[in-house]
């Protein structure tokens, strides 16, 4: 079921700030396992599974948004120029197939540039910056592009479909962070009655500065929080063990520290002991330049003890990434086991 849910979530569009399609899916998929679902003023979806009085309130956060593009201008020849939404490396944009989500439905296009055949020697060696690229939707003019539905502000996603390429290995779009969303749903499905109350939150606008997590954490006011997300897997050529020791398929990665969070020591002990007792493999991650919703949640109100459970994923922040289903399964298993044992720690 995790696999099927992740496939649906990965194929859906949720460019940061335009998460509606993913949010609707999340509501549908979480519904059987929770008591109440609301959407807050900032468009986060908050699902509640009620527990008993006197037990802690746990917030799980999985961001629903993905990096992508947005139509910035449409030139008179009918080509779309775009803004970047979230951290995107210009080098990965050229020649990608994309989908422009317009009011009249999706339009397929290609990110183009000046052809190499007519580039000067020096030009060919340079990285083409995103502002020199354009999207070709086959329109003949600005008016034609408009009549096809394209408008300034339309979100643009990468055109990549989910594929399973091995027993446990999958490739697809937006595993950052549909993988965390799928893990959150799977966790809820594994928990019967719980003593603590769980707030499973699908957050918005994480990729542009952890924004949704801020408003959601303020309203939930949790006693402890876990961000379910992905992280960089370093087991590819050119990456030193020192840069990151996290490997694909070797179990969920628990953040010790990253650029926004030093995991609360009690949270870290809780997750490690539960993983060890349940014989779930895990990895520790320290000093990564990047962060998760846990960073913002931990700074809410008077402070919230926070940590992360992340899946080591290859090629994140590119149009297509790769991960192990085993890591996703173990992440859900660990999250559920942690919740079952929370009373010993909080
Ligand atoms: Zn993420």
Tens digit of pLDDT for each residue in 54-105? 899 999 999 999 999 999 999 999 999 999 999 999 999 999 999 999 999 9
**For this structure, is 19 an active site residue?**
no
Q: 101-106 — which CB contacts under 8 Å span 24+ positions?
A: 101/13, 101/15, 101/18, 101/154, 101/155, 101/156, 101/157, 102/148, 102/149, 102/150, 102/151, 102/154, 103/149, 103/151, 103/154, 104/148, 104/149, 105/149
Asked whether the beta carbons of 267 and 222 are under 8 A apart, the reply is: no
What value, to the nearest 5°, has the Cα angle with vertex 230 and ends 228 and 233? 145
Span from the CA of 292 to the centroid of ligand 1 (angstroms) = 6
Q: What sign results for the dihedral spanned by CA atoms 328, 276, 337, 206?
A: negative
Tokens 């995991």 found at? 263
Span from the CA of 206 to the centroid of ligand 1 (angstroms) = 7
User: 10-residue block means of pLDDT along the chain (346 residues)?
Assistant: 97 96 98 98 97 95 97 97 94 95 97 80 82 96 98 97 96 97 98 94 96 97 98 93 92 97 97 98 92 97 98 94 98 97 93
Span from the CA of 344 to the centroid of ligand 1 (angstroms) = 29
Give the helix/strand (H/E) hosting 55: none
pLDDT for position 313: 97
Residue 148's CB is within 10 A of a number of other CB atoms, namely 17
Residue among 66, 186, 206, 207 flagged as catalytic: 206
d(CA 337, CA 342): 9
Span from the CA of 234 to the centroid of ligand 1 (angstroms) = 16
Span from the CA of 149 to the centroid of ligand 1 (angstroms) = 30
pLDDT for position 163: 97
Residue 115's CB is within 10 A of a number of other CB atoms, namely 7
Tokens 């201008």 found at? 73
Span from the CA of 13 to the centroid of ligand 1 (angstroms) = 15
Asked whether the beta carbons of 315 and 321 are under 8 A apart, the reply is: yes
């Amino acid at each position: 079921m995790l696999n099927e849910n992740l496939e649906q979530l990965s194929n859906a569009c949720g460019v940061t700030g335009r998460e509606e399609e993913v949010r609707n899916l999340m509501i549908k998929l979480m519904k059987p396992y929770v008591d109440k679902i609301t959407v807050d003023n900032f468009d986060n979806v908050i699902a509640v599974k009620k527990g008993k009085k006197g037990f802690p309130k746990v917030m799980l956060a999985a961001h629903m948004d993905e990096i992508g593009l947005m139509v910035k201008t449409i030139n008179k020849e009918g080509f779309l120029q775009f803004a970047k939404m979230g951290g995107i490396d210009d080098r990965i944009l050229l020649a990608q197939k994309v989908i422009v989500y317009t009011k009249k439905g999706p339009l397929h296009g290609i990110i183009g540039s000046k052809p190499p055949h007519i580039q000067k020697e020096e030009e060919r060696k340079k990285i083409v910056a995103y502002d020199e690229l354009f999207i070709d939707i086959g329109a003949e003019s600005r008016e034609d592009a408009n009549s096809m539905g394209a408008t300034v502000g339309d979100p643009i996603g990468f055109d990549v479909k989910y594929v399973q390429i091995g027993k446990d290995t999958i490739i697809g779009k937006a595993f950052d962070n549909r993988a965390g969303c799928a893990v959150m749903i799977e966790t809820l499905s594994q928990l019967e009655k719980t003593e603590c109350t769980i707030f499973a939150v699908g957050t918005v606008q994480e990729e542009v500065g952890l924004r949704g997590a801020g408003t959601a954490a303020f309203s939930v006011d949790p006693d402890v929080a876990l961000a379910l997300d992905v992280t960089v897997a370093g087991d590819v050529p050119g990456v030193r063990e020192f840069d990151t020791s996290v490997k694909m398929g070797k179990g969920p990665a628990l953040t010790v520290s990253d650029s926004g969070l030093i995991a609360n020591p009690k949270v870290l002990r809780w997750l490690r002991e539960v993983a060890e007792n349940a014989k779930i493999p895990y990895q520790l991650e320290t000093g990564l330049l990047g962060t998760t919703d846990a960073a913002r949640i931990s700074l809410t109100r008077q402070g919230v003890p926070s940590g992360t459970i992340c899946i080591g994923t290859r090629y994140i922040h590119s149009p297509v990434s790769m991960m192990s289903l085993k890591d996703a399964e173990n992440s859900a298993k660990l999250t559920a086991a942690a919740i079952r044992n929370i009373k010993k720690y909080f």
